[in-house]
A and B are shown apart, each in its own frame.
Chain A
Amino acid sequence: MTQTQTAKPILQVRDLKRYFDVSDGLLSGKSGKLRAVDGITFDIRAGETLGLVGESGCGKSTLGRVLARLMPATSGEVLFKDTDILHLDRRRLLALRADIQSVFQDPSASLNPRMTAFSLIEEPLVIQKVGNSRTRRAKVMDLLQTVGLRAEFADRYPHEFSGGQRQRIGIARALALDPKLLILDEPVSALDVSIQAQIINLLAELQDRLDLTYLFISHDLSVIQHAADRIAVMYMGQIVELAENEEFYANPQHPYSMALLSALPLPDPHAARNRILLQGDLPDPANLPEGCRFQSRCAHVTDKCRMAPEPQLEETSSGHFVRCWNLEKIHGPKRPQ
């Protein structure tokens, strides 16, 4: 995992935007744009796990869905292995789907309740017309074993499995087409603690064995700390900080990242708590303030933050990107690089 530093990017995202039209009730007639993903730029390196964290409504799931081509983008560019994936014809899009697969948060919602485990795992192979029914059967049985499910479970329906087992089926079908990149959208959030650990281990093992690249979307900073090589923090549709794992947890720069980390309840009753309590709630995403989007909740807000233009994501030290005007005020003068 250490050579990820030099590995070339498998996915390049450039100024990606996804807006939704919103209308404020039937009668008021007010309408606006909800900027769910608003100018996202980053790379995912081959073989790494990029952790994408943020609170609900920050746009992380929308971003995941746009990257998996489950939702169209409003503008921007996404290159998968140097190919633009936002403008593909039907045939090339179908081929791309084999390379980028998703694992969803709630396996009881993402598995068709009327299909058996076997047909669920076989479905991607059928859709992509891979092999014949005999080779597909062998592949499905192989996949069941890969994710730690017994072959005799193949004929059961999703509701006959436990939550952890259902997520294993979800992972198996995502793996069926031998993808290169998996978009993991809160893959363990719906699971109990003990089962969560099993699935995290399984994902790590599969990554090593099958040479996978992960975009790991989660709201849980502990899970991300364990699982990700690099961390990107999203707030209101933008990345506010991006850094290597150790660097991020040791030295968070953006006031939002600092608040997130300080709010994390630690399983240690003796831990010293220096909580930065954020004021207020999230701003209305369809009606964002001028200037920095975090101004209404930030403890370090200055006049500059309230004025356009908003701060940009800038590299403060090697590989560490932050979107904030007041880094020197908060952390003191820039560290020598």
Chain B
Amino acid sequence: MRDTMTDTPMDDAIATPEVIEPLARQSLLARLSKNRLSLVGGALVLIAVFMAISAPFLPLQDPDAVDTSQRLAPIGSPGRWLGADELGRDILSRLFWGARITLTVSLAATLIAMVVGTVLGLVSGYFLGWTDTVISRGIDVLMAFPYFLLALTVIAILGPGLLNGMLAIALVNVPFFARIIRGSTLSLRESDFVLAAKGMGAGHLRVLFRHILVNSLSTLVVATTINLGFMITAAAALSFLGLGVQPPTSDWGTMLASGRQYLSAAPHTSYLPGLAIFLTVLGFNLLGDGLRDALDPRMRE
């Protein structure tokens, strides 16, 4: 007879094995693809990434080759499909090579900001007390500066250049990550599973990384994706002001800056890099929104 648990301790298990499967396992990609806009975002991001990676391998013109005969050549000129800039350099090639710089700078800056911000957020949200007071007030001070003023201050101290520009925009974004992670740490540190882990003797490192950080990962992925979009704008803006990438290297921001003077005569020299920035940022934002929906446990039935 199956009427007591003691006889058949496996009963609870037997009734279920195949039952739970279909509800639970669904890949992130499958959930993501439910949302059309996030697919569009993903495609835009992929295009930008493809441009950056493939630049050296494609039969593109030398992006820095000056050819005054092709000065401000319009779109569709032979050999200059997307036209040429004020020095006759091929815009198509410069867009591809520029993607490399723009994406690398923003990705590196985002990673730096993410790692520093996450560690600060974890530590301040978990230990609280004076540690939290010191870190949080520091973050508050950072946030009290207007974004760009802060970046400009860093560059004024370190001097202009690719690396310093990257550090500057990374610093500006540390508070963004620190706040998000501190918030989720504050709620996770009170959760029963953290209490249970402590009850087994788990140390701070284990609780912080194995329990709290792992459960903040989806938040972090979404925040990073959305932040990448912002970083691209910030990197472009610094270059636009001549404080980021230095000539002859150029990214989308410097292209935009140099095209600005010929806005009426040859608008494509500025709107093409502008469009590239716009579409890539849009792509990261759409993808970020889609990821948020796909990773949100409440969206999973």
Contact = CB atoms under 8 A, between A and B. Distances in A.
Contact of A97 (B4, B199, B215, B300): B199
B157 interface: no
A127 interface: yes
10 contacts: A70-B198, A114-B214, A114-B215, A123-B200, A124-B200, A127-B202, A159-B300, A198-B12, A201-B5, A205-B6
B12 A70 contact: no
B12 A157 contact: no
Interface stretch (A146-154, A212-220, A312-320): A146-154
B200 A127 contact: yes
Interface in B1-27: 4-6, 9-14, 16-17, 20-21, 24-25
A133 interface: no
B275 interface: no
A10 B201 CA distance: 21
Given A70-B199, A109-B192, A149-B13, 12 more contacts: A68-B199, A70-B195, A112-B193, A112-B215, A123-B197, A124-B200, A148-B11, A150-B13, A157-B24, A165-B12, A165-B13, A168-B12
A128 interface: yes
A313 to B, nearest CB: 29
Contacts of A68: 199
A110 B24 contact: no
B191 interface: yes
Interface stretch (A13-21, A30-38, A39-47, A99-107): A99-107
A198 B5 contact: yes
Contacts of B198: 70
A210 to B, nearest CB: 14
A252 B4 CA distance: 32
Q: Which 7 A-B pairs have the closest CB atoms?
A: A148-B9, A110-B192, A201-B5, A109-B192, A124-B200, A160-B24, A97-B201
Interface of B: 4-6, 9-14, 16-17, 20-21, 24-25, 191-193, 195-203, 206, 210-211, 214-215, 217, 297, 300
Contacts of B214: 112, 114-115
Nearest to B8: A148
A110 B211 contact: no
Interface of A: 65, 68-70, 93-94, 97-98, 101-102, 104, 106, 109-115, 123-124, 127-128, 147-150, 152-153, 156-157, 159-162, 164-165, 168, 173, 177, 195, 197-198, 201-202, 205
Contacts of A168: 12
Contacts of B21: 160
A161 B197 CA distance: 20
Nearest to B214: A114
Given A110-B195, A112-B211, A205-B6, A128 B12 contact: no
Given A104-B192, A110-B196, A197 B5 contact: yes
Nearest to A100: B199
A104 B196 CA distance: 8
B285 to A, nearest CB: 26
Given A112-B214, A201-B6, A205-B6, A97 B12 contact: no
A83 B89 CA distance: 82
Contact of B16 (A101, A128, A162, A198): A162
Contacts of B199: 68-70, 97, 101-102
A115 B209 CA distance: 13
Given A127-B202, A148-B11, A202-B5, A113 B215 contact: yes
B13 A148 contact: yes
Contacts of B215: 112-114
Q: Which of B10, B14, B201, B203 has the most CB of A within 10 A?
A: B201
Contact of A94 (B10, B12, B201): B201
B17 A152 contact: yes
Nearest to A185: B192
A150 B211 contact: no
B12 A195 contact: yes
A102 B25 CA distance: 30
A318 B198 CA distance: 39
A60 to B, nearest CB: 16
Contacts of B195: 65, 70, 104, 110
Contact of A106 (B4, B192, B202, B297): B192
Contacts of A101: 199-200
B258 to A, nearest CB: 49
Nearest to B23: A160
B117 to A, nearest CB: 21
Nearest to A157: B24
B13 A153 contact: yes
Contact of A127 (B14, B25, B206, B217): B206
A156 B51 CA distance: 40
Contact of A160 (B10, B20, B193, B200): B20
Contacts of B5: 148, 197-198, 201-202, 205
Contacts of B211: 112
